[in-house]
Amino acid sequence: MWSSYLCALRHGDQYVSSGSRVGRISNMIDLRALRENPEPFRASQIARGADVSLVDRILEADERRRSSLSAFETARAQQKEVSRSVGKAAAEERPAILAHAKELAAQVKELEARSNEAAVELDTLAHQFQNLIEGAPAGGEEDYVVLRHEGPAVRDFAAEGFEPADHLALGEGLDIIDVRRGVKVSGSRFYFLKGWGMRLELALMTAALDTAVKHGFTPLTTPTLVTPQIMGGTGFLGAHSDEIYYLPADDLYLTGTSEVALAGYHTDEILDLSAGPKRYMGWSTCYRREAGAAGKDTRGIIRVHQFNKAEMFSYCRPEDAADEHQRLLAMEEEMLAKVELPYRVIDTAAGDLGSSAARKFDCEAWLPTQQRYMEVTSTSNCTTFQARRLGIRERRENGTSPVATLNGTLATTRWMVAILENHQLPDGSVRVPEGLRPYLGGLEVIEAPAGA
């Protein structure tokens, strides 16, 4: 049923379950908190640049659902009482009582249908609501706040006496990136990594794996195909669902990050977090349609349809989420130190957050040839947003309650762009950062193969 419901939402259709939904309270958002104080919800929508009226429409739908549910339950109780009285009634009274019971049954059926419709309406509206922001600056894509600059100083190539080449020119010269044949085989935004290029990517991923294990994360190889329930539960079937590859014959989605599978790992489970957060690192190939990226970063491997990524994921108590967020950010910066990149840390503005994130920090590496910063890591605190949708809870003194989920990039193919450009040498070779040399057999410089 849930799969059909999400498909209805995806295609803008109305969905009415054939089974009873009576009594099912939407778990998309904290309705009690919304009823008690809707102002933070309105403020969050304003900061995101989203529809503020959605808050009142959800409140109105919630009131309709609760009143229709109350009417149904009252009528059903009356029907049961009348039905029980049939056996006690005198013979001459029974026909009238049975007729009344039949009328009540029809009334109950109608009220049940109304209650189901009200529940669907509420779920549909609640599904549209994005997570409440927590501390993120207001505004859109350009309204981020730079928190600090880190890493080595930006190189002055003019002072070194040569013009830097971009990552594709370097990759082709070293025979480690082959975009031309990637396009021939699969179309635009595909590529081959070759020789030391393939090994450099593997070195990055393995270094990320070692870093995660050192910090107590359990490594997982994750599925890259997931159900609509999992994809929708993580918040990826919203405004940017056209960025996701969908396989209609199988009703499955290709994931653009292992965050999706990792979030779904404990779906409908009650976790024991008494000993601290549950932390995982997913290693997977990722797929993105880049439907909205026409004309953006078309050269090289910055914005592609397929890449590899090591992703951190944490389940923790909501009150510990802010500290856990800083922990994930620190691990990302530990990895960036290994590859010796100049970077900055930004606090992403509310209007540029994904629907599930309450706050997000990005690390952006410097690109010499474009004179700009490029995102290489991202870590998001999703508070209880995903856990509510996926039914992931913790048992506490007063019963069960949703946990918080967080995610963060520990390495990805895109890092190679910044590594090649920042560590290039005048002859077109590339210095290997010391932190990756143990994973490349001690290699210090990637050079063009003989005869290239």
Q: Is 258 annotated as a binding residue?
A: yes
Average pLDDT, the chain: 90
Is residue 26 flagged as an active site residue? Answer: no
Is 375 annotated to bind a ligand? Reply is yes
198 against 17, higher pLDDT? 198
Establish whether 288 is a catalytic residue: yes
> Which among 150, 243, 333, 375 is annotated as catalytic?
375
Set 288, 327, 359, 389: catalytic member? 288
Instruction: Reply yes or no on whether the pLDDT at 238 is more than 90.
Output: no
Question: Is 306 flagged in the annotation as binding?
Answer: yes
Q: Say how many residues make up the chain.
A: 452
Q: Give the least confident one: 105-109, 134-138, 184-188.
A: 105-109
- Known binding residue 37? Answer is no
pTM of the model: 0.88
For residue range 279-327, list pLDDT tens digits in order.
999 999 999 998 666 677 779 999 999 999 999 999 999 999 999 999 9
Q: Annotated catalytic, 10?
A: no
**Is residue 15 scored above 60 in pLDDT?**
no
Establish whether 377 is an annotated binding residue: yes
Burial class (CB in 10 A: 0-12, 13-18, 19+), 329: buried
The verdict on whether residue 92 carries a ligand-binding annotation is no
414 is a catalytic site residue = yes
Is 378 annotated as belonging to a binding site? Answer: yes
Candidate list 26, 189, 414, 421, residue with the active-site label: 414
pLDDT higher than threshold 50 for residue 248: yes
Who's near 196: CB < 8 A, 6+ residues apart?
A: 174, 176, 440, 443, 446
Torsion (CA) 236, 238, 242, 247 in degrees, nearest 10: 60
pLDDT of residue 292: 62
Pick the catalytic residue from 66, 303, 317, 437. Answer: 303
Is 393 designated active site?
no
211 is in an annotated binding site: no
Share of the chain above pLDDT 70, in %: 92
For residue 8, pLDDT beyond 50: no
Rounded to an integer, the average pLDDT of 9-23 is: 34
Q: Which domains are seen in the chain, by residue range?
A: 31-128 (1.10.287.40), 145-446 (3.30.930.10)
In whole angstroms, give the CA distance from residue 160 to residue 153: 14
Amino acid 20: pLDDT:
39
Question: What pLDDT does residue 18 have?
Answer: 31
User: What's the pLDDT at 213?
Assistant: 98
pLDDT value at position 27? Answer: 65
Tell whether 74 is in a known binding site. no
- Could you report the per-residue pLDDT of 187-229, keeping only the tens digit for each? 999 999 999 999 999 999 999 999 999 999 999 999 999 999 9
Q: Is 407 annotated as a binding residue?
A: yes
Q: Where is average pLDDT lowest: 23-32, 139-148, 308-317?
A: 23-32
**Which of the following is catalytic: 44, 314, 378, 380?**
378
